[in-house]
Amino acid sequence: MSNNRFWVSGAFKGFIKMRRRATFLFVLILSALASIGFGQETTYRLQPLDVIRIQVYNEPQINAVLPIGKDGNVSAPFVGIVKAGGRTTAELEAELSQLYEEKLKLRNPHVAVTVEQFRPLRASITGMVTTPGVYEFRPGDTVMTLISKGGGVNVDRGDLRHATIRHAGSREVFPIDLHAMLYKQDMSQNYELQDGDELNVPEETRNHIMVLGALQSPGPYPYKEPMHLSDAIALAKGPIPIRTMLSRVYVIREIPTQPGKYQRIQANFVRFIRNGDSAQNVELQPGDLVYVSETRTPDIVGLSNILANAIFIVDRIRFH
């Protein structure tokens, strides 16, 4: 009889150990499930319209897949309305465990909450991009992802150095240097997107040059770093036969420390063409005005009037 008792006692203890191990494994499995799927992290905070799965070990009647309402609440089985929005899955698990213990008298319930489906996250991109609009994105997507969804930026018209991003519900805008990101591979500002973000790539209004005078197609052109006199003449489709005097080209540039005052740089572009004199191929700066003379050279007063009028036009329109 004593041997039988020993055997029963040993078997019962073995059963208890097996059950504890099974419980431990189940908790591990639920914890693993809670950390996978769509790049979910334990720091992710649940949002309205997320769909979650609630599981309680050894209590299948409680298990359910539920949407989080627009008010951030979820109707949990047997315990009623529970606030889920703004919480992590771990925080919601802790409250549900306490509720099931209090209301259903469960002993040390093991609750697991996982995200079955993320709510649609959306961000918008406006301004100088190929396809402005509102786009869905996944948790972890970044500014570069949104630019890609918008078809890329218009590098000729966009002011890449002064892009901005604004978070939903905020009036504050944060600057983003897309030029550094796209041309210098500086990803320090490639921020992770938040739901409702608005990325704007403004139109470039000052980063231009004005090309005037005896050229095929004078007018304003976008400045691209680096840029030289030869680039400006090429953009304006070159000289007009017989009329253009490339030996007298002027670059008019505002003096940085004296707004409204200008310096005049004279260049003989013929020397650059014939002799390769690079000093005549003036390196341009944003806002420069290039004037190419005609063969009938105006007198100094006439030339001054032409340049003064051109500067006045530039000051008035500023390429808006």
Q: What is the mean pLDDT of the chain?
A: 83
Residue 36 has pLDDT above 70, yes or no: no
Q: How far apart are CA 225 and CA 107, in angstroms?
A: 70
Which two three-digit tokens encode residue 218?
A: 């004078």
Q: What is the pLDDT of residues 114-158, one digit of tens each?
A: 999 888 889 999 999 999 999 999 888 999 999 999 999 998 788
Does the domain at residues 121-201 carry the CATH identifier 3.40.50.2300?
no
Residue 167 has pLDDT above 80, yes or no: yes
Q: How far apart are CA 313 and CA 296, in angstroms?
A: 23
Check residue 296 and give its pLDDT: 63
Q: How far apart are CA 135 and CA 148, in angstroms?
A: 10
Domains 121-201 and 208-317 share a fold: yes
Q: Where are the domains of the chain?
A: 11-117, 121-201, 208-317
Q: What is the pLDDT of residues 178-204, one digit of tens each?
A: 999 998 999 999 999 999 999 999 987
Q: What is the pLDDT of residues 76-85, one digit of tens each?
A: 999 999 999 9
Judge contact between 248 and 293, C-beta under 8 A.
yes
Q: How far apart are CA 253 and CA 291, in angstroms?
A: 11
Q: How far apart are CA 160 and CA 79, in angstroms?
A: 53
> Could you tell me which CATH number the domain at 11-117 has?
3.30.1950.10
The burial of 3, by beta-carbon neighbours within 10 Å (0-12 exposed, 13-18 middle, 19 or more buried), is given as exposed
More confident residue, 30 or 114: 114
Q: How far is CA 108 from CA 14, 104, 248, in A?
A: 21, 11, 91
Strand (E) or helix (H) holding 256:
none
Residue 59 has pLDDT above 80, yes or no: yes
Buried b (16+ CB within 10 A) or exposed e, 56-82: bbebeebeeebbbeeebebebbebeeb
Nearest CA-CA partner of 42 in 33, 50, 51: 33
Percent of the chain at pLDDT > 90 equals 59
Check residue 300 and give its pLDDT: 47
- Look up residue 216 and give its amino acid: Q
Q: How far apart are CA 120 and CA 49, in angstroms?
A: 8
Q: How far apart are CA 129 and CA 153, in angstroms?
A: 4
**What average pLDDT does the segment 255-271 reach?**
89
Q: How far apart are CA 304 and CA 294, in angstroms?
A: 14
Does the domain at residues 208-317 carry the CATH identifier 3.10.560.10?
yes
**What average pLDDT does the segment 15-36 reach?**
45
Q: How far apart are CA 115 and CA 54, in angstroms?
A: 9
Check residue 220 and give its pLDDT: 87
Check residue 204 and give its pLDDT: 77
Judge contact between 95 and 109, C-beta under 8 A.
no
Check residue 23 and give its pLDDT: 44
